[in-house]
Every structure is written in structure tokens, then in C-alpha cells.
């Protein structure tokens, strides 16, 4: 039996990968981009759920501009908190599960080993606050939910650190990059694959599914500076572009509008124990994305 999955936010980094990878699986994936449907419009959401009679909702829609959220607080909360609440309520009414994506930025970064799902939340900025409010709404309104927290998302499309580095690297001789914030970069493709594996397990396990919050990220912890070094090393090798001079700097030397956790590594043991899903190897995922950038011609490549 082919299961029907609705993806909201289908033009985002994760949304696009869900659409392309999902079509290779035994699922019927129906995607709604922001232009097609605004998740904060309750009547539109309810109408779509009724029309499509689907088996699972995946919410990949979000307000993801961490600095922007500091000045657009109301908008960030509307999309990241009210939107998931509307989706959870709509799922509850038709009795279908919701997989919702959240973030490592619900933590304050004051641990020195990976954050587990039950660690105390203390976001440092509006983005994390709004995502945490979205998590709470989903938990309160819908029993059949999975909240998948992930971190440092990158892909060959959309706005992300890998593309920013490669584009800046084409324009500047040197780049200063923060070396005292540590996290785990996660490829959007690996998140999409995990979301669909969770979907599969939800359908297979039926009433035995263990609902709740899970962590999933790439298998390697790095600073942004170390991440950039790997990006340029692979890009020089795979794309033949020149590496600018890279300088590690501290957060104090590179102030941003929003505060970010200094350490936001997610411990992914629980998702392994419960669903047999494990972090993907960082270097092969990054290499895959760099390869896609070459095919898509998605960055301005100037040969060295």
C-alpha cells in the first residue's frame, strides 16, 4: 500500500530533499511550498488535510533566519510556534501523526558533551525561543508526534554556511571564521532520509511507535572555522577553486545580532536505540553536496 505524506515547506533545504528522495521511495509525497500554503492559515491547513486524506504530515516549514528573528520576533513566533500548533491541532482532528523539525538552538551551549533530549532548554535568542514554543505546542496538542531536533543544516540549495563560504571565497582573499562555536553540520539529504525512515517505522510499528523528541545530526563535531577548512579542502579538490586564507576568530571578534550557543552538539543515542537510525558520516555527506554544487553550477566558480 502506498502511503501518502504531505510535506509543508517543500522548497526549503530539507523540503526539497524530501521531495526528491521521497519520490524514489514507496511513498506518495505531496509538497506544499510557502507560496502554495501558509502554515499559519488555519482554514487553508484544515482544507488541505481534508482534501488529501494523507497518512502523515512532515513540517519542514520554518522561519530560519537566526539574526533576523531578533528584529522580526512576532513573525518568527507566528511561523515557528503558531504554525506548528495549527498543524498539530489539524493532525489531531484527523488522527494522523506529525513529524516536526526543531533545532539545537533550544539549548544554551553550556555543556561539554552532547545534549540529550531531556536536557534543560534555555535558548539564547528569539529563533530558539520560537522553535521551543513550537515544540511545546506540538507536544501539548498531539500525542502522535515526533520532534526531530537537528543542527547546522547545509545542502546544495538555499542559504547555508557551505554556499556562503564558497561564494565569499570567490570574492575575498581572506576570510575570518568563528572558531569557538562547536556543533555538528548536518546535510539536508541525511535529514530527509531520516525523516522518511521514521515515516516508514511509524507505518510499520503502528500503535507500538515510541512518540516524542529525538536528536539527529552529522557524526562529527567541529567549529565553524574547522567546517570551513573542510569545505575549501574538498572544493579545491572537487571543483578546482582556490582556497582563500582562512583565519580563526572568536565570537567576540565577530559580533552578530543573535547570540549563539558555544557548544550545541546533539547526542543522537536515543534515535539509534529506538529507531535504529544513526548519524551519517560528515565527510561523505559534505563531499556529496560539493559534488552536487558542481553539477548544479550553484556557486560562482573561478578557477585558481
Ligand X SMILES: NC(=O)c1ccc[n+]([C@@H]2O[C@H](COP(=O)([O-])OP(=O)(O)OC[C@H]3O[C@@H](n4cnc5c(N)ncnc54)[C@H](OP(=O)(O)O)[C@@H]3O)[C@@H](O)[C@H]2O)c1
Active-site amino acid positions = 127
Q: How far apart are CA 76 and CA 79, in angstroms?
A: 5
State yes or no: residue 34 binds ligand X (CB under 6 A).
Answer: yes
Entry field: residues in the chain: 304
Q: How far apart are CA 50 and CA 47, in angstroms?
A: 5
State yes or no: residue 8 binds ligand X (CB under 6 A).
Answer: yes
Pairing of strands 182-183, 222-223: antiparallel
Residues 102 and 148 sit within 8 Å (Cβ to Cβ):
yes
Question: Which DSSP string do the residues of 90-121 spell out, in sequence order?
Answer: HHHHHT--EEEEEEGGGS-S--SSPBPTTSPP
State yes or no: residue 218 binds ligand X (CB under 6 A).
Answer: no
Name the residue nearer to ligand X (CB basis): 64 or 179: 64
Can you tell me which of 6, 19, 39, 286 binds ligand X, judged by CB under 6 A? 39
State yes or no: residue 189 binds ligand X (CB under 6 A).
Answer: no
Can you tell me which of 13, 223, 262, 264 binds ligand X, judged by CB under 6 A? 13
Can you tell me which of 5, 45, 79, 99 binds ligand X, judged by CB under 6 A? 79
Name the residue nearer to ligand X (CB basis): 177 or 241: 177
Burial 100-138 (b: 16+ CB within 10 A, else e): bbbbbbbbbbebeebbebebebebbbbbbbbbbbbbebb
State yes or no: residue 131 binds ligand X (CB under 6 A).
Answer: yes
State yes or no: residue 138 binds ligand X (CB under 6 A).
Answer: no
Query: Which range of residues in 55-63, 168-176, 242-250, 289-297 is near ligand X by CB under 6 A?
Result: 55-63
Q: How far apart are CA 165 and CA 244, in angstroms?
A: 10
Which residues lie closer than 8 Å to 256 by C-beta, 6 or more apart?
66, 67
Query: Which range of residues in 42-50, 111-119, 152-160, 162-170 is near ligand X by CB under 6 A?
Result: 152-160
Query: Which range of residues in 47-55, 97-105, 245-253, 279-287 is near ligand X by CB under 6 A?
Result: 97-105
Residues 39 and 228 sit within 8 Å (Cβ to Cβ):
no
3-state DSSP assignment of residue 214: strand
Name the residue nearer to ligand X (CB basis): 38 or 236: 38
Binding mask 14-33 for ligand X (x = CB under 6 A): xx------------------
Per CB under 6 A, residues contacting ligand X are 8-9, 11-15, 34, 38-40, 60-64, 79, 83, 101, 103-104, 131, 150-153, 158, 188
Amino acid at each position: 500500500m502506498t502511503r501518502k505524506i504531505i510535506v509543508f515547506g517543500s522548497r526549503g533545504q530539507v523540503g526539497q530533499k524530501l521531495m526528491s528522495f521521497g519520490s524514489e521511495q514507496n511513498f506518495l509525497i505531496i509538497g506544499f511550498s510557502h507560496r502554495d500554503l501558509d502554515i499559519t492559515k488555519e482554514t487553508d491547513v484544515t482544507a488541505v488535510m481534508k482534501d488529501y486524506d494523507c497518512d502523515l504530515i512532515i513540517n519542514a516549514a520554518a522561519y530560519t533566519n537566526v539574526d533576523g528573528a531578533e528584529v522580526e520576533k512576532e513573525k518568527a513566533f507566528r511561523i515557528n510556534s503558531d504554525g506548528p500548533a495549527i498543524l498539530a491541532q489539524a493532525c489531531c482532528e484527523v488522527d494522523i501523526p506529525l513529524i516536526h523539525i526543531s533545532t539545537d538552538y533550544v539549548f544554551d551551549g553550556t555543556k561539554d558533551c552532547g545534549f540529550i533530549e531531556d536536557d534543560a532548554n534555555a535558548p539564547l535568542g528569539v529563533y530558539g525561543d520560537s522553535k521551543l514554543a513550537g515544540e511545546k505546542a506540538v507536544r501539548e496538542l498531539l500525542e502522535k508526534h515526533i520532534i526531530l531536533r537537528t543542527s547546522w543544516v547545509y545542502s546544495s540549495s538555499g542559504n547555508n554556511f557551505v554556499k556562503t563560504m564558497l561564494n565569499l571565497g570567490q570574492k575575498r582573499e581572506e576570510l575570518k571564521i568563528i572558531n569557538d562555536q562547536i556543533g555538528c553540520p548536518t546535510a539536508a539529504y541525511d535529514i530527509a532520509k531520516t525523516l522518511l525512515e521514521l515515516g516508514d517505522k511509524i507505518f510499520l510499528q503502528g500503535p507500538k511507535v515510541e512518540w516524542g523528541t529525538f536528536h539527529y545530526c552529522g557524526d562529527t563535531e567541529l567549529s565553524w572555522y574547522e567546517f570551513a577548512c573542510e569545505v575549501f579542502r574538498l572544493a579545491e579538490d572537487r571543483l578546482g577553486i582556490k582556497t582563500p586564507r582562512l583565519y580563526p576568530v572568536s565570537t567576540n571578534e565577530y559580533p552578530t545580532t543573535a547570540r549563539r550557543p558555544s557548544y550545541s552538539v546533539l547526542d543522537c543515542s536515543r534515535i539509534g536505540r529506538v529507531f535504529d537510525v544513526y548519524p551519517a558520516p560528515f565527510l561523505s555527506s559534505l563531499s556529496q553536496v560539493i559534488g552536487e554544487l558542481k553539477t548544479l553550477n550553484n556557486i560562482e566558480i573561478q578557477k585558481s
